[in-house]
Structures are given as C-alpha cells and as structure tokens.
Amino acid sequence: MTAPAIGPAAAPSWDDPGAPPRRGPVDLPGPDGDNSIAREPLWYAYGTGDDAPEAPPWTWVPQPPPDTHVPPPPPRGGGPRGALPLGTHERLAALPFPALPTTSAHAAEPDGVRLGRALVTAFGPQRREPENPYNDHRPYASPRCLFPVHAFVDGGAGMPWRLLEPDRHALTGAPAAPARNILLTGRYTSVPAAYQWFRGSLVAIELGFVLRSLSLGLELFGVPARLRAPGPGAHGTLSALGLDDAWAWSLPFVVELEGEEGAELDGKEGAEPPAGGPVPEPPAHLDRTDPALAALIRVNRAQTHDSAPAPLTTAVPEGLGPSTAAPDWAELLWRRHSGRMPRALHGMSGRRARVPGEALDSAARWLSVPPPGPGPAAAFDALKVTAVVQGVDGRTDGVHRLRDGAAHLLRADPTAPERLEERYGYGVSPVNGCGIGNAPLTVFLSVRVRELFERLGPAGWGAVQHAAGWAAHGLCLSAAASGLFARPVRAFKEIPTQRVLGLDPDEMVVLSVVVGVPQPTGGALLDLRL
C-alpha cells in the first residue's frame, strides 16, 4: 500500500492562530488504516524526508499472537551474586513526599550502599497481584510487564559488567572497585514479534521511564551523576557487555557516577565506559526470518549523539504540595498502578468521579520537568502535550494544552472523553475493561516529526521516544500522589484522535496516558519490597 503524497497545506497550529499554514500529510494511513503502531515506520520515513512513504513489505508477514511469546532467558543469570542493601523500603517511608532529602541526610552510609538503595528504589519489585495476568510490578510501567530495559553496573577496571537482577535483589558478580557507571540498554527480542517495528519504540519509551525512575532513586539517596547519551563509541560499549545476543540490544545510555562531593571520576571530564569490540550487527538470517526486527535495529544504530555528559538535575518538579494518598516516597511508589482489573481480566477499570483541581495542576507540573542531556531535552521541548479533561474541579470539560507547568483551555467539549473511547483499540468486552470514557484526564504527547528531524537529525526519533517516556513516568507518579491510576497506551486510532484533539495531520502521537479514578477490585496485593 502506498500512502498519498503530501496534499494541500494543513490548518494553522493551535499554538499560534496567526501562524502561516504548515505543510504536512493530508493522510498517512498504514496497512491497518489509522492504527498508530502500523503507522510508525511511515512516520519515520516521513521524518527523514519521504513525502510518500510506502509500508514495508514485511508489514503483511503473519505473526504469532503476542500471548504466545516466550521472552528469552535473562542474560548471564548464573554465577555469584552480590546482594543489594536491605531496608530501602523503610528508608523511603521515612522520607516525606514531596520533600527531597539534604546531602547530610545520607552522610552515615557509604557510597556503595547509597547506590544500592537508589537501584532498589528505581527497579525493585513492589508487589505481586495474583489476579493480574501481568506481574511483577516495579515502580515504573512496562508493556506486559516484560521490562525489556536492563541495567548493568561496572565491576571495576578489567572486571565484567554486573547485571542488575531486581527480582533477586542482587547484582551478578563481585566488584573489584567501586562502581563508576550504570549502563541502560533494551533487549528487542523481549517484546513479542507481533509488534514488529514498534518493538523499537516500546524499548525507547521504556528507557525514558527507566531514566526518570533511576534519576529519582539517585536523587533520593544523594548520588550525583551525569548522563552520557549514545555516541560514536556506544557500539563498542554494547559489545563490551559480553552478551551472546548483543545485536538484539539498543545502543546504551550510560549514567556516570560522581565521587565524593561531586568530584570528577579519575580527574576526567566524565568516566569513559570500557571499550568493546566491533559494532554488534544483526545476524544475516534476520532479514529473512524477522525483517522488521532487522530494520528497527539498523534504525537504532543511527541514534547517536555528539554531546558531552550532562548532569542529572532533578526528576521532581517544584511547587508540589503534600499528598494525603502518598504521605511518603515509599507509599508513592507503592500506589503507582495502571488501573487494576479483577479476576485476571485485561485492560483497565475506572469509575466516574470528580477530582480536585490539584490533580490537573500537579500533572502539569510533573510534565514540565525536562530530561537531562541536550538531545532528550530538545526533543522534550518539541513535544506538544494535549489533555482531554472532565470532572476536574474548577476546570472546563474539554481539550486543554499543558505547557509551562499549567493547563490552558483550547476548546470546551464535554463529549471528547466518550469520543476518545470510541477510537480506542481495546473497548469494553467480556474479557477487557476500558476506563477512558470515565477518565478525568487523558494526556497525549505529540510531535511534528519532520520538524524534529530537521532539528536533531535521525537521532531525534529515539530522543523523542525517550523524552515521552520520561514525561509519562512523571505523570504516573503525579497520578499516584493524587490517588489515581495512570496507564500509558498507544492503542488509539491516530487519525480520528487527531481530530478530537485538534492536532494537525503532520503531528504524530508518540504516547498517551489515561489517568483515571480506580475501581476497588478487592484482589490481594503481595508486598515484595525489601
């Protein structure tokens, strides 16, 4: 199928009613019409300059159902392990939300212990829900709880990287020296093949979630650090992990840990991760057996940045008030969820109820904090945040723009939530719940792909996915503080959703988050915190 070429000029942007019309595609239908996942490779091609992109030939290759997918075994699961520190839950429970501790609050614990606590805070399992088909739950959302993004910690000079195993509360191997780097990379084969090219976006979005979760953990335990985006040497760093399938992993982000009182490591401007071998390219057979995977990996290998390491600043906005739902940081992380369903059913459940205006104000503030690093920060700045609001005290039901930490009404429209639910790919059924029509807040993160590529080049594709994940994780924490659930989704039909929101045809929806009032399910919650 060939998408239509660029047609007449699009309508002026809502951001500036007096702006000249923008050039954009009248329609960019994928092989499944306006299905947002099927349109991803077309959006990428459009961003690179193709005004009439065609659906790749592998689009029509039959795929097994996602539920039949068996993820590959964890990398390097055997060998000796070093336990992470116990008692992190109690330490978090002693930290009132939303206050951040002072540096002196951590002076009694060694750097290695504080780093361990930060890793537990960022990645440690929170609970198991026997009635939930997807387990276990960590402090951040993940598609199907597959957690394709992994963290590795260096073991010292000449020593192998140590894999973080959150479910075992441990790091593999024994360190020879204090850790200097945390490496974040995602394994594409952990995601069902049925997602085809979208596996790349899922991993990139989750990396944004993980980056904010890790930044928060480091901040709460006073561990200063910098972020190094993938550069020209990132291919070698990936091969240095010693993975049998290094070709199946994304180019790594490296969080460089600072020494005492923020001293530079080894007196250098950033600690270079260990070098590795050649670029881990996909095996030759992949173009035949899984061409979508081969294509997305090649796109990822172009996602490099030419920038110095950037300090991790803060993951938490200023001006937050205390929360009755989450009086401390431990409770906040415990309360984050995606809308529980009873009896092992799928989807999300939510009920219609009014919520205080502070829930929207808090969401806007969390969505205003940029990620670290010039690339992700520039992509974050390019994101447009549009919200459909209903039943929020002091706010008009309708479409709002969220920017600069505040919500601005664009159009009163009490029917917008109902119309959004009609355009969602997984409606209410005997086995699936859908709480969009009742949700007080549904947020959409969108971007003009062509403008993004003109500004950041091909690396803008990954950068905007990372920025969207960073923003969405903040929204998930905001919802937990307001006693609400937040469910990141990509199942909206894109073209009619653009029309509900007032987006132009050349704006791609990167990610959506449904924020709802939870239904009491009565199911058991098994506490896994240590």
pLDDT at 19 over 90: no
Confidence at 453, pLDDT banded by 50, 70, 90? very high
Boundary (domain end) residue, out of 311, 345, 370: 311
Average pLDDT over residues 362-373: 97
Of the candidates 515, 272, 249, 288, the one whose C-alpha atom is nearest the C-alpha of residue 400 is: 515
Is residue 493 within 8 A of residue 29, CB to CB? The reply is: no
* 298 and 344 housed in the same domain: no
- The count of C-alpha atoms lying within 13 angstroms of the C-alpha of 34, restricted to the half-sphere facing its C-beta, is 16
Q: Kind of pairing, strands 507-516 and 485-489?
A: antiparallel
pLDDT at 271 over 60: no
- % of the chain at pLDDT higher than 70: 89
pLDDT at 15 over 90: no
- % of the chain at pLDDT higher than 90: 67
Count of C-beta atoms within a 10 Å radius of residue 310: 18
Is residue 92 within 8 A of residue 502, CB to CB? The reply is: no
Average pLDDT over residues 279-298: 90
* 481 and 436 housed in the same domain: yes
* 216 and 359 housed in the same domain: no
- Residue carrying the six token digits 């995602």: 186
Is residue 385 within 8 A of residue 403, CB to CB? The reply is: yes
pLDDT at 270 over 90: no
- The least confident of 35-44, 143-152, 263-272, 301-310 is 263-272
pLDDT at 261 over 80: no
Count how many domains the chain has: 2
- pLDDT score for 105: 67
Which residue did the predictor score with more confidence, 265 or 408?
408
Domain contains 50 = no
Boundary (domain end) residue, out of 261, 279, 311: 311
- pLDDT score for 524: 87
For the record, the structure tokens of 374 come out as 């010039």
pLDDT at 113 over 90: yes
pLDDT at 355 over 90: yes
* 186 and 94 housed in the same domain: yes
Domain contains 326 = no
What are residue 15's DSSP bridge partners? none
- The least confident of 90-94, 246-250, 272-276 is 272-276
CA separation for the pair 29, 12 (Å, rounded): 22
- pLDDT score for 104: 61
- pLDDT score for 288: 92
Classify the phi-psi angles of 373: left when phi > 0, otherwise alpha if psi is within -120 to 50, otherwise beta.
Answer: left
- The least confident of 98-102, 157-161, 274-278, 515-519 is 274-278
Condensed to tens digits (0 to 9), the pLDDT of residues 299-354 reads 999 999 988 999 998 999 999 999 999 999 999 999 999 998 888 888 898 999 99
- pLDDT score for 343: 84
Domain contains 4 = no
* 291 and 369 housed in the same domain: no
Determine if the peptide bond prior to 273 is cis (ω within 30°): no
Domain contains 298 = yes
Confidence at 78, pLDDT banded by 50, 70, 90? low
426: Cα separation from own chain's centroid: 21
Average pLDDT over residues 456-474: 97
* 154 and 233 housed in the same domain: yes
- pLDDT score for 427: 86
- pLDDT score for 273: 59
* 285 and 354 housed in the same domain: no
* 442 and 503 housed in the same domain: yes
Is residue 171 within 8 A of residue 159, CB to CB? The reply is: no
Of the candidates 500, 502, 498, 522, the one whose C-alpha atom is nearest the C-alpha of residue 510 is: 498
Mean pLDDT score of the chain, rounded to an integer?
88
- pLDDT score for 77: 56
Is residue 190 within 8 A of residue 200, CB to CB? The reply is: no
- pLDDT score for 27: 55
* 286 and 209 housed in the same domain: yes
Average pLDDT over residues 388-394: 98
Domain contains 327 = no
Confidence at 10, pLDDT banded by 50, 70, 90? very low
CA separation for the pair 466, 456 (Å, rounded): 14
CA separation for the pair 69, 340 (Å, rounded): 23
Domain contains 3 = no
- pLDDT score for 437: 95
End-to-end CA distance of the chain: 53
Domain contains 153 = yes
CA separation for the pair 195, 37 (Å, rounded): 8
For the record, the structure tokens of 42 come out as 């077309």
Average pLDDT over residues 258-271: 44
Boundary (domain end) residue, out of 311, 344, 360: 311
- pLDDT score for 26: 40
For the record, the structure tokens of 127 come out as 């609970």
Contacts 24+ apart (CB under 8 A), 400-408: 400/360, 401/14, 401/15, 402/363, 402/364, 402/367, 402/443, 403/368, 404/368, 405/317, 405/319, 405/364, 405/365, 405/367, 405/368, 406/361, 406/364, 407/360, 407/361, 407/364
pLDDT at 94 over 90: yes
* 290 and 374 housed in the same domain: no
Count of C-beta atoms within a 10 Å radius of residue 267: 7
Please give the residue range of the domain that contains residue 484. 334-527
Domain contains 34 = no
Confidence at 387, pLDDT banded by 50, 70, 90? very high
Condensed to tens digits (0 to 9), the pLDDT of residues 485-524 reads 999 999 999 999 999 999 999 999 999 999 999 988 778 8
| CATH code of the domain in which 510 resides | 3.40.109.10
* 209 and 150 housed in the same domain: yes
Q: Which residues contact 380 (CB under 8 A, 6 or more apart)?
A: 370, 371, 467, 470, 471
Confidence at 277, pLDDT banded by 50, 70, 90? low
CA separation for the pair 355, 343 (Å, rounded): 27
pLDDT at 75 over 90: no
* 279 and 391 housed in the same domain: no
Condensed to tens digits (0 to 9), the pLDDT of residues 187-235 reads 999 999 999 999 999 999 999 999 999 999 999 999 999 999 999 888 8
pLDDT at 468 over 60: yes
